[in-house]
Chain A
Amino acid sequence: MELFNLGIKSIFIDNMIFAYFLGMCSFLAVSKKVSTAIGLGAAVVFVLGITVPVDWLVQEYILKEGALSWISPQFAEMNLEFLQFIMFIAIIAAMVQLVEMIIEKFSPALYGSLGIFLPLIAVNCAILGASLFMVQRDYTLAEASVYGVGSGLGWMFAIVALAAVREKLKYSNVPDGLKGLGITMIITGLMGIAFKSFIGIAI
């Protein structure tokens, strides 16, 4: 039940976009069409669902203070936390590469639709952000997995909704200076107000 609650929370309340502004670059750049938004969203859910638990394992058994004591007691004093950023970004890049290869091997159709987005994800701040938040909040492995998938779903939800709005927006008469980025920011802000209404729900 706790886990389910965390999942709901990470999708709606702690939404990556509306609460933490993570992954905004691709959120703004790839939200012109619903179909591509769904593709990128699915890829993000996938990569987040894998990298957050993997980063948890790395943090817990390699980086944390005293984490290396499982090798031999003399490492108990080691604290490799300063390597956190480099390790995490390397893991993300490697995972993205791995996911790309696995999808290519087992599902060429999915690869065809996700293909171009996968490399982009390596520099999506939502992925690194989720891993860093996971460390900050001291999640357990189960919580980390749920949090990874949940925040990915929240991100996907937001980008698909924005893409749907923008498809309709093409036919509206927007002031010149606001066209493109400006009006998209305002819409995102308004959607953020809507998402605020989820604050306080608990199941």
Chain B
Amino acid sequence: MSAETLEKPVEKAVKEPLFSKRRRKFVTDPLDDDNPVTIQVLGICSALAVTVKMEPTLIMSIAVVFVIVFSNLIISLIRNTIPGRIRIIVQLGVIATLVTVVSEVLKAYNYPMYKVLGAFVGLIITNCIVMGRLEAFAMGNKAWDSVLDGMGSGFGYAWVILTVSFFRELFGSGTVFDFPLFEKIGLANFPTNGLMVDSIGAFMILAIIIWVQRTRNGYVEN
């Protein structure tokens, strides 16, 4: 994570393609090797809290991707004018404004979902992934790079929480996106597991995802 922030800016003479190899890495790295949830241990709170059903999880992922990308972009554009001592407040201000936008849009266009997500939309402000990317990347990189980096982290977060919610909804309620999967394949009496709907299921599923992913990548935490 720190290595990429130290990278020298590319020389101006050579025009870099919009999706050069170096830039593609910003998006692909956080998906797997440097995943914000399973490797960097950030943004766990909301990864667990909204994942009972897939639909709210999808909305939450879109909201988080939006907030990360735009806060990265804004902070990166004004990074040279932010005094170092008050940068946390400035960052929080930008994030809180974007989250307010998301929350108002959700309230206007999808009120039932706004009710389901409740306080957790507001809690995107304290999602450490957003803060972490601003601090570690956007404060020292150009706008387009920061946007790509935000997308990478956002999608890395999104696939993890979507996977968690897939298993929780499937085994907890027997449905996928409210589609009764077990019933349709002739297992109408498939027993659902109450633990999956509960918080405990979230911890266990996430632990298993972490286990599988880290074993595949050979990542060992000391």
Chain A contacts to B: CB under 8 angstroms: 18-25, 28-29, 82-86, 88-90, 93, 119, 122-125, 127-129, 132-133, 136, 175-183, 185-186, 188-190, 192-193, 196
Contact = CB atoms under 8 A, between A and B. Distances in A.
A182 B38 CA distance: 9
A85 B131 contact: no
A25 B204 contact: no
Nearest to B43: A25
Contacts of B213: 177
A97 B191 CA distance: 51
Contacts of A177: 210-215, 219-220
Interface stretch (B12-20, B76-84, B117-125): B117-125
* Residue with the greatest number of chain A CB neighbours at <10 A, chosen from B45, B49, B211, B213: B45
A86 B215 contact: no
Given A86-B100, A185-B207, A29 B199 contact: no
B59 interface: no
A182 B88 contact: no
Contacts of B11: none
Contact of B200 (A86, A132, A193): A193
A89 B119 contact: no
Given A85-B103, A123-B126, A182 B214 contact: yes
A123 B198 contact: no
Nearest to B89: A93
Interface residues of B, number: 46
A189 B207 contact: yes
A94 to B, nearest CB: 9
Contacts of A18: 199
A98 to B, nearest CB: 14
B180 interface: no
Contact of B207 (A90, A123, A132, A186): A186
B73 interface: no
Given A136-B118, A189-B203, 7 more contacts: A28-B41, A85-B125, A129-B126, A177-B210, A177-B212, A178-B210, A178-B211
Contacts of A136: 118-119
B48 interface: yes
Given A85-B103, A89-B92, A177-B212, A128 B123 contact: yes
28 contacts: A21-B46, A22-B123, A25-B41, A25-B42, A83-B100, A84-B122, A85-B96, A86-B96, A123-B126, A123-B131, A125-B123, A129-B119, A129-B126, A132-B123, A136-B119, A175-B215, A176-B214, A177-B215, A177-B220, A179-B221, A181-B38, A181-B210, A181-B221, A185-B203, A189-B199, A189-B200, A189-B204, A193-B200
A189 B44 CA distance: 14
Contact of A86 (B43, B97, B198, B221): B97
Contacts of B210: 177-178, 181-182, 185
A128 B211 contact: no
A162 to B, nearest CB: 12
B122 A132 contact: yes
A128 B125 contact: yes
A123 B87 CA distance: 14
Given A136-B118, A185-B206, A196 B198 contact: yes
B45 A178 contact: no
Nearest to B95: A89
B122 A21 contact: no
* Residue with the greatest number of chain A CB neighbours at <10 A, chosen from B92, B126, B219: B126
A175 to B, nearest CB: 7
Contact of B211 (A89, A90, A182): A182
B96 A89 contact: yes
A25 B214 contact: no
